[in-house]
A and B are shown apart, each in its own frame.
Chain A
Amino acid sequence: IAGITQAPTSQILAAGRRMTLRCTQDMRHNAMYWYRQDLGLGLRLIHYSNTAGTTGKGEVPDGYSVSRANTDDFPLTLASAVPSQTSVYFCASSDSGDTEAFFGQGTRLTVV
Chain B
Amino acid sequence: GQNIDQPTEMTATEGAIVQINCTYQTSGFNGLFWYQQHAGEAPTFLSYNVLDGLEEKGRFSSFLSRSKGYSYLLLKELQMKDSASYLCAAKDNYGQNFVFGPGTRLSVLP
Interface residues contributed by chain A, number (CB under 8 Å): 26
**Contact in complex: B43, A43 (CB < 8 Å):** yes
Asked whether A48 and B33 contact (CB < 8 A) given A40-B102, A103-B43, the answer is: no
Q: What CA separation (Å) do A102 and B42 show in the bound complex?
A: 9
Residues of B within 8 A of A103 (CB): 42-44
Q: What CA separation (Å) do A26 and B8 show in the bound complex?
A: 34
A98 interface residue (CB < 8 Å to B): yes
Complex interface bits, A87-100 against B, C-beta within 8 A gives 1, otherwise 0: 00010101011101
**Contact in complex: B95, A101 (CB < 8 Å):** no
Residues of B within 8 A of A33 (CB): 97-98
Residues of A within 8 A of B87 (CB): 42-43
Asked whether A98 and B31 contact (CB < 8 A) given A42-B87, A42-B101, A45-B97, the answer is: yes
Residues of B within 8 A of A41 (CB): 102
Contact with A100, one of B8, B33, B42 (Cβ below 8 angstroms)? B33
**Contact in complex: A48, B97 (CB < 8 Å):** yes
Interface residues of chain B, those whose CB is within 8 Å of chain A, are 8, 30-31, 33, 41-45, 48, 50, 87, 89, 91, 95-103
Interface residues of chain A, those whose CB is within 8 Å of chain B, are 31, 33, 35, 40-45, 48, 50, 56, 58, 90, 92, 94, 96-98, 100-106
